[in-house]
């Protein structure tokens, strides 16, 4: 396997700016939808209780997001990875040390919380107070997935990438030159 690129989510300033911009766009879209839903359907409960539930659910979702990454790494890495959790530059993270994963499997690991946790928050919020809370929780979480989404885009744009290895600062994109499957 040879390295074809690195996506350094922590130190690559253009990539970091892209992540922040994507997060802001997602929050903006979410806010527009939020205003529409509150005007059309109301809060669904007292505003104070709504805000309290929103804050608690958003904070609780952060470690759950990382646990979903970990579960996906363990499932798709077939025991060939060791999971480590951490916090740096305002972000929780999950890191999988060990063998690289095939490109598609790594993309699945990156997208798992974006799909599963976002959907669960939408359902939970809707059940507790209606669509305004479900929407707010889902879009807030999705905006926090901007780093994962940016890495998926980077992986998709890299020609020759067949495998991905997790690193301390992001991911290393690898090409399989016929020396075994590497995963």
So where are the chain's domains? Answer: 2-175
Q: What is the pTM of this model?
A: 0.90
pLDDT of residue 47: 95
Residue 180: is it exposed, middle or buried by C-beta count within 10 angstroms (0-12/13-18/19+)? exposed
| Tens of pLDDT, residues 133-179 | 999 999 999 999 999 999 999 999 999 999 999 998 889 999 987 65
pLDDT of residue 181: 47
Judge whether 34 and 132 are in contact, CB under 8 Å. Answer: yes
CB atoms within 10 A of CB 36: 13
Task: Give me the residues of the chain with pLDDT under 70, please.
Answer: 178-183
Closest CA to 122 of 108, 140, 110, 145: 140
């Amino acid at each position: 396997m040879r390295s074809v690129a690195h996506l350094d989510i922590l130190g690559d300033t253009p990539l970091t700016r892209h992540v922040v911009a994507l997060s802001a766009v997602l929050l903006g879209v979410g806010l527009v939808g939020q205003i529409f839903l509150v005007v059309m359907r109301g809060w669904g409960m007292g505003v104070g209780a709504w805000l309290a539930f929103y804050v608690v659910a958003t904070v609780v979702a952060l470690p759950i997001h990382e646990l979903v990454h970990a579960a996906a790494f363990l499932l798709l890495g077939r025991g060939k990875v060791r999971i480590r959790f951490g916090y740096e530059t305002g972000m929780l993270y999950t890191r999988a040390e060990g063998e690289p994963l095939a490109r598609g499997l790594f993309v699945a690991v990156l997208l798992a919380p974006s799909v599963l946790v976002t959907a669960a928050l939408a359902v939970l919020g809707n059940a507790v107070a209606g669509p305004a809370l479900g929407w707010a929780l889902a879009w807030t979480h999705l905006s926090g997935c901007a780093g994962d989404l940016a890495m998926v885009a980077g992986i998709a744009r890299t020609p020759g990438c067949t495998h991905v290895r997790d690193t301390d600062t992001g991911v290393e994109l690898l090409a399989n030159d016929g020396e075994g499957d590497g995963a």
